[in-house]
Structure 1
Amino acid sequence: MKPLAAGDPVRLGPHRILGVLGEGGMGKVYLGRDDAGRPVAIKVLLPELAHDPGMARRFVREARAAQAVASPGVARVLGAWTDGERPWIATEFLAGPTLAETVERLGPLDETAVRALGAALARTLQDIHAAGLVHRDLKPGNIVLTSAGPRVIDFGIARPEHGLTLTATGTSPVTPGYGPPEQVLGQRVGPPGDVFALGAVLAYASTGRRAYDGADVAAVQYRVVHGAPDLSALPPALLPVVAPCFARDSAHRPAPARIAAALAPPKSARNLWRRGPLGDDIARREAEARKLVAAPVPEATGAPGRRRFLAGLAGAGTVAVTAAGGGAWWLLRGGGDGEGGRPAEKEAAPAPRPWDAKRLNAADHRDGEPPTPLWGPFTAHRLGRWLQPVRDLVLVAGKEGLRALRVTDGQVKWVVRNDHQSHSAALPNGLVATVFEDRLVAVDVGTGKPRWSAGEHVLRVLAADESAVYVATGESAETRLCAFDFSTRALLWDVRTPIPQAYGRGDSRAAAGSGRLVLFGGDEGNAVALDARTGRTVWRQPRQGIAVGLPPVFSGSTVYLGGSSLTARRAEDGKTIWSIPAKGKPFGYVGGWSTPVLDGDALYAVDEDRISRRNRHDGKADWTRPLDGLASTNSVTVQGGMVWVSESNDKGMIALDKATGAPVWTWSNGFGEWLAAGAGNRVFLLRDGQVTAMPVT
């Protein structure tokens, strides 16, 4: 959440405004508190749009549509003002994840949960239709899971049942794969259109993938109109209920009441949203939401105390905030920068996931003696060059392709070919981007099947953010950079690379965040930041390293770099926040500062033969420990209560207590370069094509 800026309101109606949750093309959404101390989300139309008759009418229609529905399945509208230069809508503040986020993080729901979800959504559609409305944009991102059950949000394109569509023939504002054939064709959309979307939502919730998919939006929409949904992974008991929702003729789709009756979950499902990993996640978010509005707020707008208060809220933990009627949700992550470089409050512990391992306690191991591996070593790739955990899998890329191992036992789940021993990048919605036959390919993490492809002469995946994936392209060497929208597969921009590549090998590394794509490496070891929207070079830091690039690391609006100095820079303009020179000149994969690793307010990095833990806000050291020999610049990993680092190619990986730097044990199984990654209370070690999963304290 951001502090209020000049021009932001302090009060709207009976609501005290606390901060800015987000903003978009139509307006801003604020966090507010009513006179009873309840949190509210308030959407305000931009002043310049309030004078646009078309936008003003849409905003008024949104307010009226949301107010017209009396249902426990939608977020209540608490108030609205649709006149004057600052129209606003105040709704319940829902602290909980969306269905899309839940499936992405925890995996598909089980059959009982899908039944409870479907029955609740069907009853909500009954209420919406009884109010004379059609939602027209039911999708996983517009369904919030709360402790009281699923809630439907976003009435931005809802229309009276007798109304026509908002768009011309052949276009649709709805997410591809969730809008019915009649909506794709620009025809009248009635209540059966929402039933089609409900079927698509339940298929996604149950399987983790869309019922209609394709290489691009046009292909998805073509399948919606002319093809059949992919329901092959749907549990047999759900198939007779979900399949009829996709009838091409809207008259043949079942009514919501019939769907609710057919799904009828068992009585034990009443507390479904309050137990297990999902229940824990919801409860944690609700607790953080209460903290947001319980803290006192200084009255003086713009005063330093108020700014510090809001900065503290931004770092107070993780809470999903949803504004119904606004059609937006925000994930406020802990660890944001405090004012004047002061550390923000510590992050809340991440919610446990079903595949997380149990951490070791003092009775489970002896100091100095490594414990038994959780699994492995298993052969993954003879020349493995990339290792990344993604959900319940750990992906290894090498000469033979991209291989997915289950994090729980190391068994191979799937293998797909990829080119150039390419680095890959995890995308939202359970996809991972890689390169195959010189094209960018998005692979379904759950199945290993390609979902879509784009581009040509693609050599390497560089990075991805919440909306785009960035690649290097060229006929024989990396000469250009491209950005592709991962939802539409459209080319966003194509520019000449600002970093010459060492010997044509593609030695730069990249990361994306805070509206920037930062590349580091190349012949001269430069760091260069591009505007992620346009590809325009924004700032450059010359000779930050030598030839071999190290991945930049983002945290909020700050980017951290290793190399010739350990440096924190403002992502927006490259301004130095703090910088610490390396002991010596970096060369290849040794020397200089390593890639920094962030863990809350702590930063861990290696400088030649020593590792230190530092405050990421000012770079000051908490502790420093010497290592036995030069460490690799790519081998620092933090997981659980430990930090792992490669002392040298023949010494192995040493595990340290991350709070003190004291050695706990050393693990070695041969000679060679190490790659390491951590997730789910495991550290994955890759050496000579062998992958081992180790426990952590």
Structure 2
Amino acid sequence: MKPLGAADPVRIGPYALAGKLGAGGMGEVYLGRSSGGRTVAVKVVRADLAHDPAFRVRFQREVKAARRVSGAFTAPVVDADTEAEVPWMATRFVVGLSLHACVEKHGPLPEDALRMLTAGLAEALLSVHGAEVIHRDLKPANVLLALDGPHVIDFGIARATDGTVLTSTGSVIGSAPYMSPEQAVGESLTPASDVFSLASTVAFAAGGASPFGDGAGAAVLFRVVHTEPDLGFVPESLRPLIRRCLAKNPRERPGPREVITYAELAERNRPAQRWAGWLPEPVAADVLELRATLTALPTPAPTTPLGGPDDPALVGGGEAGVPASHGSRPSRRTLILGLGGGAVALAGGVGAWALSGKGEDTDRTKDSSSSKGGGASSRPSGDDVQEADLAWQVRQQMASTQVVPADGITACVAMGQITGVDRSGNTKWTVKVPEGGMTFAAGSTPMATAGLYDGRLHVGLGMMADFSLSDPEVGESRTALLSFRVSDGKDPRTVELTKAPGMGLSAFCGVRDGLAHVVSMSGQGTASGSFGVWAVGLDTGRTAFYEPAQGTPVSWAIPSTGGGMVYATVDRVVALDTKGAVAWSAKDGTTSVASAGRFVVLVDSKGALSAREPKSGREVWKVEGAVVPSLRGDGIATDTEGKVLYALWTAKDGGFSLAALDVASGEVRWKTPIPADAKGSPYAGARILYADGNVYRMGGDGMIWAFNAANGKPRWKYSGWKSTDTSGLAWSAGDGRLCLSKPSTSTVAALNANGA
């Protein structure tokens, strides 16, 4: 590789800025990453305001107000320096796009999503008001739609309920169409003002317009104060609630808790299940595409002074969270500049919108316990299953988003380096990012950007040199695979992706017959801003083919025979032959695809599991009732020979059963109930692996189970990471052990296959 000589990134405090997310009257918001891989949204004050003492006081008060608020549906402050030469504040990232942008692009939300939106915003206000703060600017542009619910952002004009005003005289005090009447006439405010804004925001989501119309600010404010809202687009089931929230008298409005109860969501105690699939599919697809974009594009930061008038990275931006394009696919510029409060970089796996519901047992997949009566009484408790001991657990300098066991080593893949940990937990070797401005294709959340072949680990590299946010077509993009021996980390070799420029690896899909199949964002011509599939010869160093993807690949399989690759997008399954040409494609509700012997196996959003021939797409067999895979896509597994397929089923008592199916026929070899997750555990989809004669299962409660692959009986369990958010864990099995990584704490651990 030729040296690229990229400039060092701009840093604010401990964070390297990696691209502009939005802009407003106070400053700009950037994507920031700490040296440990933590991703945040960094709000940086404009250079001309940084020297204004009065403005500094206002910013300090904003940070103070934001620090007081912490909740599941807000973006809490994680760091700030209000005394710096250029003041800044960092908040947690939210995986989402603004409500305003989504309604503008896709139209009003359906009724079910509106009910969830209403409850989620009310829960956010509970956190805000519980911290004795009034938001005062709740509007569609300040609401991010994420896979785990709506999030309220931007406390720039918030005020404390004790009367401490956090704005200066003469500053903008809100957005006219979403102000309460008392705010419009300058009266003192109570938390009920935010409830009024909540209702106006929900009404916008239902009809695509403010309930008080458009026009000049003064005219809109007059209608807010003196006229009744137009709620014709609000569903009848929500209309009475929204009308009460829009009462002119704040004392007549319901509180947030009453709003939640009315929306019939207050009694649901399983957050992950509750929010899974709440977004309409087109919106969920945009969210997934956004996070895949950030994963695929480790954008260099601007190298000119922040906030300077000639800084090309600060051109444009507009209202935070509003994409600049309304096309069918967000452009690179739209995805990067239209984030609003930010997004977490994730890649691979199935989007959470697919986790909608659980299947039911069918005659073909009937529980082995049904002849004995079935039900809860036949479900094992797991109390008598032995507790496994950790082989080792270590805390690393960087967060590992993938762990790969092989040759007595666990390779831990992080953005800045890869470490090899031996069977005793000691670091045996470290591979740093090579010189030339590139970085490993890893982020801050679990993702598969590396794979094994012929005793070597192949890891994605990517960069964008001289990238300008004001003109995304400017700059050199490069994507490559770096490989080295797993045993000692030596003998590095590099293979570049050619035929089309890639912009950072999104996923390492697998290797078959010496060809590595990878997904990356394309950076050329009409394909720029979309995804592509490359097949790269690891022995020859040559790119075998490149094919633009028909959407954003979220799951994939490399068939053993009859095809090059099969991938699934949010609404389509596409099969490529060995030359990269599309062999067949079909509109399908598939959420996951995997290789099983000579077939590819698909799981749809309703739990239907089917086997297809990779060459023709012909369905060979189909069974109903499987549990939909998790957003990591690891919900089905096969044995080493590809003859037996393992999957989870939902049993009649509400728990799960583990089943083994014959790959050739789809017939059940055995099926048995497994111990239940802890009460109240979130439903996170199926997560299972096969290796070393074990079927491993990661429960929704964070429990790890090892089952005998011959009959489904539990061999051991590990509860050391119980109650951990399983969506944030990476895992892999093989070479006699199960390896786990928790990127949020930079922790990596291993369990021996026998549990000892």
State the TM-score, normalizing by the size of structure 2.
Answer: 0.40
